[in-house]
């Protein structure tokens, strides 16, 4: 979704590469544009209100996301990144698409919390059971709810200022005997 | 409002240094489980899959598939099998691809048990 | 019916309903009322002092069973008698008496029952769309049968005339706030009317719970209103325990109460921060947010979760508090909140915005069946912890804080008084001893294979959450699975007073202040 605008920027792939590598290069080139300043808008598609509380706390003194160059904006036209919570209620499809369409490109979408990632609700007549079907997600932040620290890490990964860590994790504890 | 100004100065700085420095408050957060493959039999894996309320665990042959994205870190699997499951302690879980959150955990081979 | 005495009190009321055995009744009295007597019964109950309609809901009406009747249940809080009265009426056909003509608080539920079960109050009163979205066709999942016909004009239209115009706002709103659609009717500055569309966040939670085991259901219940996980979870667990005949250990009940008071503390801190934000007092907001964050970290230290998910269990408590952490951290964390609140109460520019803003009169609060700090700020003394004391509040009664005036300032003061009382209660409860523990559930309740069947056991549960009385009613089938679960978080009731509070001589910019002082969730209302 951000490909068209990103391809115009500097990091277009010069060497032959696999699709995955190209996509990764594009993602990074977009992310790098936002390294110094990023404006965030939030979208609730059926959360239990806990994710919203954690997002609000990002601006609180303990976390102070402004020190990292992140800002909240209530206006979609000013937003670079959309933080989406909740399992994407079907009745919300139009509002979600309009919210996304109102943002200028290039733009990022961050799926926030277990509901948005498909953990709590299943796909049925009420909800999509996750936001992946409806919006093109760039970064996924697990947690129920994700703590403000986890949200900060997710935002920093989204703008390529922190490396993604979870890719290398195995969620096994080695040790003892084998 | 001078009252608030003085209060703020007296209160000092509470802001985390994260990400430059680790934040000690992260230690108390609930985190997804980490599994001990040596203790995971097929039977135990099936029990864990039933216990999980968010469908984060499924078994596929000799592999336990763990979806850290769907996991709510509720701790039910740890309660069910403390010998095989402990908190991972990882809270930095953001992924740029949904697939990066799905982990395949090998089970004890049938011959080993 | 008509021959009965007018005398007050439970015996008179119950004999009116054909129920005589009062002496050995527990805290919940269940009475069957014939459909034809419902109207008379409601008139009597509505006139009785100390009785209020706490909830109205339906069950039955299974479309798979031909002619399965709908059972209409009312929950009355007989607060002065310290009991709940549950009436059950079997409704044949598609009409029942228009209860909201007698008890206005019943209107939202009448609309909801029409959407979900297809039965409507007598008369031509237009009903509002509450939960199901406009695109829901007759095949859309429901708790019962769909309405026989769904004419477009069944839903009340909003008329805007004269100098007024309508300002639509939502459903996507500001940063970090829940989705909600406001229809603001204004003449430019003054707010003439306000209505809400509440169906954007309907997730069909009660529909989802059917057929699940109580423990599986509890996971979803806690995530229905995340900022009220303990209150709503406790009400649901208590209802299930009543249905299954289980009594949790006393230590576990004290554990639940500690978690509930911690939930109250952090919510009141969050409401304080939101009030500062809505009045533009950034320094006050920062001070309140420091308190809020410290309270959330205390939750994590004491129970392992910032929002106390997973504390309540069916039959007890899953984890116990870290008493040392609570004793060590609570005074400091609460101290932050108290100092912030004291400073706010000395800041005139802040108080000016709160005073006489968003007034909800006591008469309106009573009429609409409001609960929690919003009701108490009007002077009504409703608090489930005091009115319907279950363990451990019978041994540890709270001092109920009330205010007067019913404006935002009164609500702010009530919240601060309650926060202080919560800290005292947590100290007492810790002293009495708290820990995890769980009563054994009877065989079958945990079975995963029991076939969903007809309900045979039911129960009512309640808890005083930070927003007010949370209710739940559960019926279990033979396999111990949920046949019908009704969740009524306090948010369900209190939003209906929001438009009243907003209309009372307020301007546009007062709406966020009033919303912060109500401190409700859309998630809890829309379920």
Residue A142 is part of a domain; what is its CATH number? 3.40.50.12280
pLDDT at C446: 40
Burial C322-353 (b: 16+ CB within 10 A, else e): bbebbeebbeebbebbeebbebbeebeebeeb
Question: How close does chain C come to A2, measured CA to CA in Å?
Answer: 23
Q: Calculate the CA C523 to chain-centre distance.
A: 11
Give the full edge-to-edge strand order of the sheet including C312-313: C312-313, C316-317, C437-438
Number of residues that this document lists for chain A: 178
Q: Give residue C123's pLDDT band: very low, low, confident or very high (50, 70, 90).
A: confident
pLDDT at A7: 42
Residue A7 lies in a domain: no
Identify the residue with better confidence: C7 or A83: A83
Which residues of chain A are within 8 Å of residue B69 when distances are taken between CB atoms?
114, 117-119, 140, 142
Which pair of tokens denotes residue C470? 């949370």
Q: Is A6 on the interface with B (CB under 8 A)?
A: no
Q: Is A62 on the interface with B (CB under 8 A)?
A: yes
Contact check, Cβ <8 Å, A49/C199: no
Give the full edge-to-edge strand order of the sheet including C165-169: C165-169, C181-186, C191-197
pLDDT at C424: 94
Q: Give residue C35's pLDDT band: very low, low, confident or very high (50, 70, 90).
A: confident
Residue ranges making up the domain that contains A111: 33-159
Residue A26 lies in a domain: no
What average pLDDT score do residues C154-168 get? 71
Q: Rg for chain A (alpha carbons), in Å?
A: 17
What average pLDDT score do residues C195-220 get? 89
Contact C426, C295 (CB under 8 A): no
pLDDT at C506: 77
Question: How close does chain C come to B102, measured CA to CA in Å?
Answer: 22
pLDDT digits (tens, 9 = 90+) for C78-97: 888 888 988 888 888 888 88
What average pLDDT score do residues B43-55 get? 90
Neighbours of chain A (3+ CB pairs under 8 A): B, C
Low-confidence ranges of chain A (pLDDT < 70): 1-17, 174-178
pLDDT at A141: 95
Q: Give residue B1's pLDDT band: very low, low, confident or very high (50, 70, 90).
A: low
pLDDT at B110: 55
Q: How many CB atoms lie within 10 A of CB A49?
A: 28
Contact check, Cβ <8 Å, B69/A61: no
* Nearest 10 degrees: Cα torsion C271, C275, C276, C280: 150
pLDDT at B78 over 80: yes
pLDDT at C451: 38
pLDDT at A148: 94
* Nearest 10 degrees: Cα torsion A121, A123, A127, A128: 110
pLDDT at A16: 60
% of chain C surpassing 90 pLDDT: 39
pLDDT digits (tens, 9 = 90+) for C429-477: 998 887 777 777 765 444 333 334 434 588 899 999 999 999 999 998 8
pLDDT at C500 over 60: yes
Which residues of chain A are within 8 Å of residue B55 when distances are taken between CB atoms?
119, 122
Contact check, Cβ <8 Å, B74/C310: yes
Nearest CA to A121 out of C208, B74, C214, C133 is that of: C208
Q: Give residue C332's pLDDT band: very low, low, confident or very high (50, 70, 90).
A: very high
Name the 3-class secondary structure at C51.
strand
Question: How close does chain B come to C226, measured CA to CA in Å?
Answer: 13
Cα three-residue angle C424-C425-C428, rounded to 5 degrees: 90
Tell which of C132, C133, C201 to mutate to test the A interface (max A CBs under 10 Å).
Answer: C201
Nearest CA to C76 out of C168, C153, C13, C4 is that of: C13
Domain C205-356+432-492+508-526: CATH superfamily, name plus number: Cytochrome-c3 Hydrogenase, chain B (1.10.645.10)
Which residues of chain B are within 8 Å of residue C339 when distances are taken between CB atoms?
7
pLDDT at A176: 42
Q: Is C174 on the interface with A (CB under 8 A)?
A: yes
Which residues of chain C are within 8 Å of residue A118 when distances are taken between CB atoms?
none
- Listed by number, the residues of chain C in 201-240 with a beta carbon closer than 8 Å to a beta carbon of chain A are 201-204, 207, 220, 223-227, 229
pLDDT at C98: 87
Q: Is B90 on the interface with A (CB under 8 A)?
A: yes
pLDDT at C11: 63
Domain count along chain A: 1
Which pair of tokens denotes residue A101? 């369409």
- Residues in Cβ contact with C179 at an 8 Å cutoff, skipping those fewer than 6 apart: A43, A44, A45, A46, A92, A95, C170, C171, C172, C173, C200, C201, C522
Q: Which of C200, C227, C306 sits opposite A147 (nearest CB)?
A: C306
Q: Give residue B109's pLDDT band: very low, low, confident or very high (50, 70, 90).
A: low
Q: Calculate the CA C514 to chain-centre distance.
A: 18
Nearest CA to C81 out of C52, C102, C47 is that of: C52
pLDDT at C487: 94
The partner residues of C53 in beta bridges, in order of sequence, read C76
- Residues in Cβ contact with C421 at an 8 Å cutoff, skipping those fewer than 6 apart: C398, C399, C401
Contact A81, A69 (CB under 8 A): no
What average pLDDT score do residues C318-344 get? 91
pLDDT at C345: 92
pLDDT at A12: 47
Q: Which of C172, C227, C229 sits opposite A99 (nearest CB)?
A: C172
Give the 3-state DSSP-derived string for C343-396, with helices as H, strands as E and coil as C.
HHHCCHHHHHHHCCCCCCCHHHHHHCCCCHHHHHCCCCCCCHHHHCCCCCCCCC
Residue A13 lies in a domain: no
pLDDT at C7 over 50: no
Q: Is B26 on the interface with A (CB under 8 A)?
A: yes
Average pLDDT, chain C: 85
pLDDT at C482 over 70: yes
Identify the residue with better confidence: C266 or C33: C266
pLDDT digits (tens, 9 = 90+) for A130-173: 898 899 999 999 999 999 999 999 999 998 888 888 888 888 88
Residue A84 lies in a domain: yes
Name the 3-class secondary structure at B31.
coil
Contact check, Cβ <8 Å, B75/C304: yes
pLDDT at C456: 58
Q: Is B38 on the interface with A (CB under 8 A)?
A: yes
Which pair of tokens denotes residue C252? 């576990």
Q: Which of C293, C300, C339 sits opposite B29 (nearest CB)?
A: C300
pLDDT at B5: 82
pLDDT at C447: 38
Q: Is C334 on the interface with B (CB under 8 A)?
A: no
Task: Tell me the angle at which helices C408-432 and C510-518 cross, rounded to the nearest 10 degrees.
Answer: 20
The full DSSP string for C283-301 is: HHHHHHHHHHHHHHHHHHH
Nearest CA to C402 out of C390, C389, C388, C386 is that of: C386
% of chain C surpassing 70 pLDDT: 90
For residue C366, give Cα distances in angstroms to C8, C128, C380, C524: 18, 22, 8, 21
What average pLDDT score do residues C249-266 get? 93
Which residues of chain A are within 8 Å of residue C270 when distances are taken between CB atoms?
53
CATH topology of domain B29-113: Alpha-Beta Plaits (3.30.70)
Residue of B nearest to A24 (CA): B96
Residue A14 lies in a domain: no
Q: How far apart are CA C515 and CA C519, in angstroms?
A: 6
Alpha carbon distance, N-terminus to C-terminus of chain A: 46
Identify the residue with better confidence: C296 or A162: C296
Q: Is C310 on the interface with B (CB under 8 A)?
A: yes
Contact check, Cβ <8 Å, A45/C135: no
* CATH code given to domain C10-144: 3.30.460.80
Domain boundaries, chain C: 10-144, 205-356+432-492+508-526
Question: How close does chain A come to B106, measured CA to CA in Å?
Answer: 9
Name the 3-class secondary structure at C327.
helix
**What residue spans of A3-104 are helical by DSSP H?**
3-8, 19-33, 50-57, 93-101
Residue A2 lies in a domain: no
Q: How many CB atoms lie within 10 A of CB C233?
A: 33
Contact check, Cβ <8 Å, B53/C219: yes
pLDDT digits (tens, 9 = 90+) for C349-368: 899 999 888 899 999 998 88
Contact check, Cβ <8 Å, C310/B25: no
Contact check, Cβ <8 Å, B1/C297: no
Alpha carbon distance, N-terminus to C-terminus of chain C: 37
Q: Give residue C416's pLDDT band: very low, low, confident or very high (50, 70, 90).
A: very high
Identify the residue with better confidence: C16 or C133: C133
Residue A5 lies in a domain: no
């Amino acid at each position: 979704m951000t490909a068209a605008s990103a391809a115009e920027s500097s990091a277009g792939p010069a060497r032959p590469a696999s699709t995955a590598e190209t996509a990764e290069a594009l993602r990074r080139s977009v992310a790098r544009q936002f390294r110094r300043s990023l404006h965030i808008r939030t979208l609730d598609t059926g959360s239990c209100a806990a994710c919203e509380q954690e997002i609000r706390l990002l601006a609180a003194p303990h976390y102070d996301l402004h020190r990292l160059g992140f800002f909240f904006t209530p206006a979609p036209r000013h937003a670079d990144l959309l933080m989406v919570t909740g399992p994407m209620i079907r009745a919300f499809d139009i509002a979600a698409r309009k919210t996304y369409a109102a943002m200028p490109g290039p733009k990022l979408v961050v799926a926030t919390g277990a509901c948005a990632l498909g953990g709590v609700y299943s796909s049925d007549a009420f909800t999509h059971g996750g936001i992946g079907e409806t919006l093109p997600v760039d970064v996924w932040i697990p947690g129920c709810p994700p703590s403000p620290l986890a949200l900060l890490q997710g935002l920093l990964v989204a703008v390529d200022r922190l490396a993604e860590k979870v890719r290398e994790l195995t969620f096994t504890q080695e040790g003892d005997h084998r | 409002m001078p009252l608030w100004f003085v209060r703020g100065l007296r209160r000092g700085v509470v802001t985390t240094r994260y990400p430059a420095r680790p934040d000690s408050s992260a230690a108390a957060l609930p985190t997804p489980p980490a599994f001990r493959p040596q203790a995971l039999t097929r039977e135990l894996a099936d029990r864990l899959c039933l216990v999980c309320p968010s469908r984060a665990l499924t078994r596929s042959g000799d592999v336990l598939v763990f979806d850290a994205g769907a996991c709510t870190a509720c701790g039910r699997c740890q309660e069910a099998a403390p010998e095989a499951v402990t908190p991972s302690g990882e809270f930095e879980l953001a992924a740029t691809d949904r697939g990066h959150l799905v982990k395949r955990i090998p089970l004890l081979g049938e011959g080993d048990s | 019916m008509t021959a009965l005495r007018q005398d007050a009190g439970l015996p008179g009321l119950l004999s009116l309903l054909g129920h005589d055995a009062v002496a050995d009744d527990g805290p919940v009295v269940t009475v069957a009322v014939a459909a034809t007597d419902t109207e008379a019964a409601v008139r009597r109950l509505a006139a009785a002092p100390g009785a209020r309609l706490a909830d109205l809901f339906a069950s039955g009406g299974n479309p798979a069973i031909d002619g399965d009747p709908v059972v209409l249940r009312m929950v009355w809080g007989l607060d002065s008698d310290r009991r709940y009265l549950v009436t059950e009426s079997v409704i044949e056909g598609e009409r029942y008496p228009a209860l909201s003509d007698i008890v206005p608080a019943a209107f939202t539920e009448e609309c909801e029952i029409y959407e979900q079960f297809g039965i409507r109050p007598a008369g031509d009163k237009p009903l509002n769309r509450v939960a199901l979205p406009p695109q829901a066709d007759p095949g859309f999942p429901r708790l019962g049968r769909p309405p026989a016909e769904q004419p477009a004009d069944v839903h009340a239209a909003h008329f805007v005339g004269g100098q007024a115009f309508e300002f639509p706002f939502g459903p996507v709103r500001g940063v970090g706030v829940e989705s909600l659609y406001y229809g603001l009717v204004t003449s430019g500055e003054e707010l003439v009317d306000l209505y809400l569309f509440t169906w954007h966040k309907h997730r069909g939670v009660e529909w989802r719970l059917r057929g699940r085991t109580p423990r599986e259901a509890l996971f979803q219940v806690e995530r229905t209103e995340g900022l009220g996980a303990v209150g709503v979870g406790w009400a649901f667990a208590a209802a299930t325990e009543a249905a299954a005949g289980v009594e949790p250990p006393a230590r576990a009940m004290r554990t639940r109460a500690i978690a509930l008071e911690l939930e109250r503390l952090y919510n009141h801190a969050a409401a304080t921060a939101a009030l500062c934000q809505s009045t533009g007092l950034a320094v006050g907001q920062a001070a309140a947010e420091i308190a809020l964050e410290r309270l959330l970290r205390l939750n994590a230290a004491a129970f392992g979760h910032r929002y106390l998910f997973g504390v309540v269990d069916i039959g007890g408590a899953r984890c116990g508090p870290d008493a040392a952490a609570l004793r060590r951290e609570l005074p400091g964390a609460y101290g932050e909140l108290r100092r912030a609140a004291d400073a706010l109460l000395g800041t005139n520019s802040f108080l000016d915005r709160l005073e006489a803003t968003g007034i909800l009169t006591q008469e309106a609060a009573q009429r609409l069946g409001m609960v929690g700090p919003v009701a108490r700020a009007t002077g009504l003394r409703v608090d489930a912890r005091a009115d319907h004391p279950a363990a451990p509040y019978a041994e540890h009664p709270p001092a109920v804080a009330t205010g007067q005036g019913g404006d935002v300032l009164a609500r702010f003061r009530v919240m601060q008084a309650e926060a202080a009382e919560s800290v005292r209660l947590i100290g007492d409860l810790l002293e009495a001893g708290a820990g995890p523990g769980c009563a054994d559930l009877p065989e079958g309740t945990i079975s995963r294979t029991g076939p969903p069947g007809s309900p045979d056991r039911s129960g009512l549960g309640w808890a005083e959450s930070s927003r007010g009385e949370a209710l739940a009613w559960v019926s279990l089938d033979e396999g111990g699975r949920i046949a019908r679960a009704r969740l009524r978080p306090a948010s369900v009731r209190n939003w209906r007073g929001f438009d009243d509070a907003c209309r009372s001589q307020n301007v546009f910019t007062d709406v966020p202040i009033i919303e912060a002082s109500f401190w409700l969730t859309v998630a809890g209302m829309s379920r």
